[in-house]
Amino acid sequence: MKKYILALDEGTTSARSILFDRDFHVVSMAQHEIPQIYPRPGLVEHNPAEIYACQYASMTECVAKSGVSPDEIAGIGITNQRETTVVWEKATGKPVYNAIVWQCRRTADYCEELERRGYADLIARKTGLRPDAYFSGTKIKWILDNVKGAREKAECGELLFGTVDTWLLWKLTGGKAHVTDRTNASRTMLYNIHTHEWDRELCELLTIPPQMLPEVRSSSEIYGYIGLMGAEIPVCGIAGDQQAALYGQGCTQPGDLKITYGTGCFLLANTGETPVLSRHGLVTTVSATCENEPVQYALEGSVFVGGAVIQWLRDGLRFIESAAESESVARKARDNGGVYIVPAFAGLGAPHWNMRARGVITGLTRGAGAEHIVRAALESIAYQSEDVISAMREDTGKSINALKADGGASANNLLMQFQADISNLNVIRPAQTEATAAGAAMLAGKAVGFCQSPFSDKSSVTVFKPDMTLDRREKLLNGWRRAVKSCLLSEEE
Ligand code: ADP
């Protein structure tokens, strides 16, 4: 019986590797920063060779410093920044262009054109997504249109496309596996989430030769083997970061919801075997599902400015010295004192989708102090999340069972309690905050019989229970809605 399982967690800012034991406790971790490339405002790239080098270095370092023999590692799971697009030469493995990162807005005009030409409905029906520069499809098209000779080579089958999972797997297996999983495929705007195939009509619309697309598999099965310090280890789990976190949080039943409170907040609600198309600005995505199990779906909504509003308090306003201090400062105020912040620094995401909205602070009186502003900033994270949760409730017509929280800002007890109060739900925070990497490891573990998954350690969770009267909740939510309205109004002037 092998004792360990390894997760490769390739994020936007760093590549990490984490070795877990059978109880999914972290045994060892190593991390390498990924250099960010900003050619112009709004454009973001990574060097694919650096992505691989950072991931490989973190993997060998993580295993070496653990003192664990690679023979003891049952398998490897990959989780990755989603949508980021790499195109490389099949024969040489040489990327034809930098990786175009999910945040990159270079194809925004083309996406608006797709919308003008009336393709939004078709895209939503087939892929569950809205035409947006965020997703991989238009990024591939951009590379084929802008790199000399790329389109001709792609048409002759000489180029391969992959999201970061595919790129890493291809490199790790020495070019043997050109594979992705359904969760990553569902973020390309080329994958039909109902038929589970690359969609011919969408490939034609975006002029993408289907032969460059990877084979799509489940999120938990053996894709290939890699040689690591003399051992042969199967790579047997793949999921995009948010779906890996959903799985790692044990959200495998319809109605289960997780929120990752990071720089932004990502909310995913499992909708079971039914893909729910949103009428409230959410996207439909495929959940991480294992081989031979029915495919499950999720509704997804994101909040652009989550923990980032706390960074602004620290670095912009200098009201706090550290993110953690936001809690003690906010506790100095009994309540928000009527102050609301809508941190629409870069527009508002789901369910409002207003790119031109800008932030506002409302309800200031002479009595408002730094503690009220800090409290209002923390509360804004919960209000924005509640807006997405309520869109999810309306889209599914079902109640939400509970919220499972992870990510950096989930350490804040005041925020967690306020979320429970304002959403009238239990908020459950596990001691294991590495939900994304743990999810990838659990998917890999399941494929090789290492664990029944998802593994859950119920003993170590903290539960925040709602403790607010209905009247109070309504009053606060009304104040928030008024603040959001004024932020949308400020955009019209
Ligand atoms: P990411 O993966 O997006 O880089 P993390 O999950 O590491 O994000 O979380 C970092 C974010 O969480 C930062 O924006 C930071 O301001 C916020 N944060 C971290 N600790 C706290 C805290 N105790 N209270 C509130 N916000 C916090």
Helix %, strand %, coil % of the chain (to 5) = 35, 25, 40
User: Encoding tokens for residue 61?
Assistant: 């370092």
CATH 3.30.420.40 correct for 4-238: yes
For position 287, what pLDDT does the model report?
95
Its pTM stands at: 0.89
pLDDT digits (tens, 9 = 90+) for 107-121: 989 998 999 999 999
pLDDT band at 60 (very low <50, low <70, confident <90, very high): very high
pLDDT of 490 over the 90 cut: no
Whole-number Å distance, alpha carbon 300 to ligand 1 midpoint, is 20
Residue nearest to atom 8 of ligand 1 (CA): 262
Residue 257 has pLDDT above 70, yes or no: yes
What is the chain's mean pLDDT, rounded?
92
SS3 state of residue 435: helix
Query: Do residues 340 and 486 lie in contact, with contact meaning Cβ atoms separated by under 8 Å?
Result: no
pLDDT tens track for 394-445: 888 877 878 999 988 999 999 999 999 999 999 999 887 788 999 999 999 9
Atom 1 (ligand 1) nearest CA: 262
Q: Which amino acid is at 67?
A: G
**For the chain, what percent of residues have pLDDT higher than 90?**
74
Q: Alpha-carbon dihedral of residues 451, 454, 455, 461, nearest 10 degrees?
A: 170
Residue 138 alpha carbon to ligand 1 centre in Å: 30
Peptide bond into 454 cis (omega under 30): yes
- pLDDT for 457 equals 65
Domains of the chain by residue range: 4-238
Confidence label for 43 from pLDDT (cuts 50, 70 and 90):
confident
pLDDT tens digit sequence for 441-485: 999 999 999 988 676 666 678 999 999 999 999 999 999 999 999
Ligand 1 center from residue 407 Cα (angstroms): 7
> What residue's CA is closest to ligand 1, atom 15?
307
Helix (H, G, I), strand (E, B) or coil at 478: helix
Q: Which of 261, 384, 434 to mutate to test the pocket of ligand 1 (most atoms within 8 A of CB)?
A: 261
pLDDT > 90? residue 72: yes
Q: How far is the CA of 265 from the centre of ligand 1 (A)?
A: 10
**Ligand 1 centre and the CA of 36: distance in Å?**
19
- Ligand 1 neighbours, Cβ below 6 Å, are 262-263, 307-308, 310-311, 323-324, 326-327, 407-409, 411-412
Q: Which atom of ligand 1 is nearest to the CA of 13?
A: 4
